[in-house]
Amino acid sequence: MNKNIRIKNFEINRYSKVFIVAEISGNHNGNFNNAIKLIKEAKKAGVDAVKLQTYTADTITIDCDNEYFQIRQGTLWDGRTLYDLYKEAYTPWEWQPKLKKIAEEEGLICFSSPFDKTAVDFLENMNVPAYKVASFEITDIPLIEYIASKGKPVILATGIATLSDIEEAVSACKRMGNNQIAILKCTSAYPAPLEDVNLNTIPNLSETFNVVAGLSDHTLGISIPIAAVALGAKIIEKHFTLCRADGGPDSAFSLEPDELKAMVKSIRETEKALGEVSYDLTPKMKKSREFSRSLFVVQNIKKGEVFTEENVRSIRPGFGMKTKYIVDVIGKPARCDIEKGTPLSRNLIEDN
């Protein structure tokens, strides 16, 4: 399996720019115009893709309020049932082909997370270019096999996964003949505490599974995605909202437009600075070598006078002989009169 995938015309590999995804999720608050605004604001921010979620309350759970379906885990959504939450948060399916078209008109890639086989079939009819497997679905091996069978890139999120869960999910894709796999380090806490993020897992995922690795981030702010890029993340996914004050299922840990734009800018600056392993000097660095140290005459010297540690010193700038030659210079006579401030060179030293 190669460490690269292609989503439409975007090649993602260790040398490519970072693939930045704005996760719209339920932050449209049930308003189609808000969903359109989210796409257009994401484009202005400079992302490469927007991601939807394709489910209904009935395809992801059942309408039941017994103890098993109550949310009581110290989350933003405690006190609600799963059905109630997903009924509010879902993106109507009839919107999704329209949103994909709008995204593509904006020059963005649009794909989605399916949560059951009917959603996969629906997205196949939309001809999405890739699939994201959400963290809570990574243990649903039959679903992953069905997704992988479509032959498109599969992006796995690891928010609740053990190492063996990830191994099973990757194996499921490969069993279906699909080697186009990326894995996103994820922490399924909303928002995610910094001490639980463990970004050092990202390069280990890439190495262990020989795949493109990245980050699906639920922390507050933009520092963690930027740090992830410095560690080799090639995909960054971040939740996005028009305004946190408007509320919404995921708004509390989502970025607003100016923040998303700042994140994209910082990621692009970070990847530019990462560059490659190089010990070559750029023209600017070569010019800066003029400020390095070298041997200079620091007192007026007469012809025949001996060089000493008092009249020759290692100082800035770097126009004289290299400082390592000081031991060869001390004790030898000057070939001619030399003024203070002259860079020392071989032709100023009398050979004995």
At 130-171, the pLDDT tens digits run 999 999 999 999 999 999 999 999 999 999 999 999 999 999
- Are 223 and 311 within one domain? no
**Residues whose CB falls within 8 Å of the CB of residue 248, separated by 6 or more in sequence, listed in order:** 26, 27, 28, 29, 241, 254
pLDDT at 198 over 70: yes
- Are 139 and 21 within one domain? yes
- Are 333 and 208 within one domain? no
Domain that holds residue 183: 4-55+90-274
pLDDT of residue 1: 42
- Are 187 and 211 within one domain? yes
- Are 196 and 328 within one domain? no
Average pLDDT of span 239-243:
95
> Quick one: pLDDT band at residue 75, thresholds 50, 70, 90?
low
- Are 212 and 343 within one domain? no
pLDDT of residue 84: 87
Structure confidence by residue, pLDDT tens digits, 281-315: 999 999 999 999 999 999 999 999 999 999 999 99
- Are 311 and 237 within one domain? no
Cβ atoms within 10 A of the Cβ of 302, count? Answer: 10
Tokens of 7: 């989503």
Helices and strands in the chain, H and E counts: 12, 12
pTM: 0.89
**Residues whose CB falls within 8 Å of the CB of residue 268, separated by 6 or more in sequence, listed in order:** 17, 18, 46
| CATH number for position 302 | 3.90.1210.10
